[in-house]
A and B are shown apart, each in its own frame.
Chain A
C-alpha cells in the first residue's frame, strides 16, 4: 500500500494539484488498498491539528501581522539606516539588518518578504537594479526561518516528536543565522562596489544612532523576551507566541499608536489563512503517516539505509543531497511534514545529534525556498517587484550559493550549530 500512496501522490502532485489535496488522495488510495474504513481520515486529520505546540505558528504569524500593522517597519529601517546606511550597498545592508530583526519578530520568511518588499523595494530600485533589490530582500527574508523564533523549526520539532526541543533548535539557528547575515552584507558590499552603486543614507552620527535605537528598542526587546523565555525554559513556544501577540498589541496601540481596532480582524484572518496552509498539509499528511506506520515504512527504510551504509556522515550527505533536490520542487512545509517522520528516527539510530541533524534539515529546505523552479520567496518577490522569474534567478544565484556554502560549513563544523544549544544545556 505504500507504493500506492506514493504513486497516487506523485500523479496528482505532478499535475499541479495543491500538495495538501494530493496527500489527501494518496491517503484515500492507501486506505482503500489496506481495506480500511475511510473514517480514519477525518479522525487523523483532526488529531493532527488538535495539538498545543502547533498553536505557536498562527500566534507568531499574528504577532508579525500586528507588528507590521503597528508600523514597525519604518522604525526598523530608520534604526538600520542610522547604523549602516552610509556605506557601499547601504540600502542593501539596511534591508538585511531589518530582515534579521524582523526574522526575530515574525519567524516566517514569506511574511518577512511581503513586509520588507513592500516597504523597501520602492526606495531600493531608485538606487539599484530591481533584480538585485529583490534578491537582497528575498535573502534577508530567508533569515526569518533560521533566526529564532522560526515557524519552520516549530514544524520540524513537531514532526520529529520528542527527540528534539523547539528551544534547542532555536538556539542552533543563532550562530549560522549571524554568519548568513554577515555573509549577505559582505556580498552586498562586494556587488555594490563592483557595480559602482552610489552611497545612500546619512553619515554615521552617534546622536542619531541613539535616537533611532531608542525608537527601535521596544521592537528589539520583543525577541529578547520571547525567545529568551522559551530558551530559558520559562514558558513554551506557544505561550511565548501569545506573549509576542500581547506585546505587539501594546506596541501598536500605545507606542507607535498606528494600530487600530479595525486592523485586528484582517490581521487575525490573514494569520489564520497563512497558518492553515501548513495546517492543511499536516492534516492530510497525517493519514499518509498512519498508512506508512502500519506498513512499517519507517522500520523498513531504516534497515534499508543501514544496510546501504553504516557511516553517519554518508547518511547525512545522502539526506542533504535528497533535500537539495526536494527543496527545488516541493514547498518546504510539505517536505518537513512528509520527510521528517521518516528521516529523524533514522538519524537517531545512527547516533547523530538531533539538533545538528534537525538544523541541517531546516537550513537545507530554507535554501530551497530560494531555488528555482519552486522557490516560494522568488514568486513572492517577483509579484512585489513586478519582474520576471528569469531576472530574479539571474540576480539571486550569488545569494543562493552563499547559503549553500554556509550549509556546507555547518555540516563540516557541527560546533557552529550545536555549540550554543549545548552550552545552554540542550
Chain B
C-alpha cells in the first residue's frame, strides 16, 4: 500500500506540502483503482475460461472489458512505479559523479520526465476529444474511455515527477520517516 494514516506530514503551510498531500491523496485513490481494475480483469478472464471450457459458452464483451481493465490497471500503476523506483535506468556513468552533481542531475531528469508527461497529457486531451464519438466494438461505450487512463496516468506521473524535481530523489523516504 503506498500510504497510510501514520505518515508524518512535512513542514506545513508551504506549497510543497500541499503538493505532497495532493499526490498522497491521488496515490490513495489510485491504489484502490488499480486494485479494483486488476481484480476485475483477473475475475473476468477466469470467468471467461470457466464459461468457455466448462459450460461451452462465453460471456459477451468479456475479452474487451478485461482488456479495458488491464489497460487501466497498467497505466494507473505507472505513476506508483515512479514513487517506488521500479522504472529502471542506466546509472553506470552517473554513479561515478560527485553526490551533489548526481542529485542535481536526478532532479533535472525528473523535470525532463515531468515535461514529457505534461506534453503527453495535453496531447491526450485532444485524442480523447477525437475519439469521443467512436464506440467500443462490442459495447455502447465511447472508445475514449481507454485514453482516459492514459490521461490520468500522465497527469499523476507529472505530479510525482514534480515532487521528485522539487524535493529530490529521496523525498518520499524523508517524508515517511
Contact = CB atoms under 8 A, between A and B. Distances in A.
Interface of A: 12-22, 24-25, 28, 38-39, 41-43, 45-46, 49-52, 54-55, 58-59, 62, 234-235, 238-239, 241-243, 245-246, 264-266, 268-269, 271-277, 279-280, 283, 329-331, 334, 373-374, 376
A24 B92 CA distance: 21
A245 B46 contact: yes
Interface of B: 1, 31-32, 34-35, 37-39, 41-42, 45-46, 48-49, 53, 63, 66-67, 70-71, 73-78, 80-82, 84, 86-95, 105-106, 108-109, 112-113, 116, 119-120, 123-124, 126-127, 130, 146-147, 149-150
Nearest to B108: A15
B53 A269 contact: no
Contact of A18 (B31, B67, B89, B147): B89
B123 A41 contact: yes
B83 to A, nearest CB: 9
B174 to A, nearest CB: 19
A15 B31 CA distance: 30
A22 B73 CA distance: 22
Q: Give the secondary structure class of A's interface.
A: helix
Contacts of A331: 88
B74 A14 contact: no
B38 A42 contact: no
Contact of A280 (B35, B38, B78): B78
A28 B38 contact: no
B164 to A, nearest CB: 11
B78 A279 contact: yes
A16 B90 contact: yes
B63 A52 contact: yes
Given A242-B49, A329-B92, A269 B35 contact: yes
Contact of A277 (B66, B73, B87): B87
Given A16-B89, A55-B45, A269 B1 contact: yes
User: What 9 A-B pairs come out closest when comparing CB atoms?
Assistant: A276-B77, A18-B87, A279-B74, A242-B45, A272-B77, A16-B94, A268-B38, A42-B124, A17-B109
A243 B46 contact: yes
